[in-house]
Amino acid sequence: MSLHNIQHCFIDQLTAKTPKLPLADLFQPTITLSVDEQQSVYLKNANGVHAATLTKIYPAIHHTLGEDYFQQLCRDYRRQFPSHDPDLNNYGEQFSHYLQQQINNRSELSDFYYLAELATLEWHWHRLFYCSQQKSFDLDAFSELDEACYSLLQFTLSHGLFVSKTKLPVIEIWQANRFSPAETQTFSLLDKNSYFAISSIEQQPQLVLITAADYDLYQMIKQKKDFLNITHDFPHPTCPLPDFISRQWIDGYYLLE
């Protein structure tokens, strides 16, 4: 077997796939380690690195669930969603989806119904550290556009901006558990929707509470509504577009052909 095929078999084994050739046929026992023990060394190291990555990205979930249970989830997640990217900073995007599956299937997680939303918050917070530098909105060029262009004009959102709404106390849970386990894990549901944005200011992530108007404008831009449509159909008395520009949540625009 060629070295290329051996390497592929080895990677398949580490990522919980079924290798084309059992690795037992590729290893030789030593005086101190059997074939299974040799494979176990690599598997434990790989699991440890991936678990450490998830622990770094999702500290609040780690502190909420505790070390042992979180490590169990990390191992199971890696079996279902093995990393295919050499940069482990990109590993873990599906953790929110995975946690929702576990909540639906594991009775012991019934009280942790907020974990999927908390994971989404932590993932977008993490991603801001690795986003490209924001562009500056060209306000002078924008102000000189002819109104006839408005129906063709679409805005582009700042890379890394994440806006959400929730009735779950995920912000409170996140703030209470980011750096260490909270003394109590009892939190109350909100009476109404809470709106928040995660964005980067001078390369530093920040989370801010926003309004329903902010949320709706974000959704309209994300849905590629043109400028004319936004100004005519905005469902609130005032459109926060100038605020979006000043906060650098909109970094540009383009005209449809």
Per-residue pLDDT tens over the stretch 12-65: 666 655 544 555 666 666 777 676 666 665 666 667 789 999 999 999 999 999
Query: 3-class SS at 33?
Result: coil
Binning pLDDT at 50, 70 and 90, where does residue 201 land? confident
What's the number of CA atoms in the CB half-sphere (13 Å) around residue 54?
Answer: 29
Closest CA to 92 of 59, 63, 58, 67: 58
Per-residue pLDDT tens over the stretch 213-252: 999 999 999 999 999 999 999 999 999 999 999 999 999 9
pLDDT of residue 245: 93
pLDDT at 165 over 90: yes
pLDDT of residue 39: 63
Q: Which two tokens stand for residue 82?
A: 């093995």
Per-residue pLDDT tens over the stretch 151-160: 999 999 998 8
Distance in angstroms (rounded) separating the CA atoms of residues 241 and 230: 9
Looking at every residue in the chain, the average pLDDT score rounds to 87
Closest CA to 64 of 92, 91, 88, 99: 99
Domain parsing of the chain, residue ranges:
1-127, 131-257
Binning pLDDT at 50, 70 and 90, where does residue 204 land? confident
Per-residue pLDDT tens over the stretch 122-153: 999 999 888 776 678 899 999 999 999 999 99
Sign of torsion over alpha carbons 172, 247, 95, 50:
negative
pLDDT of residue 38: 61
Distance in angstroms (rounded) separating the CA atoms of residues 210 and 213: 8
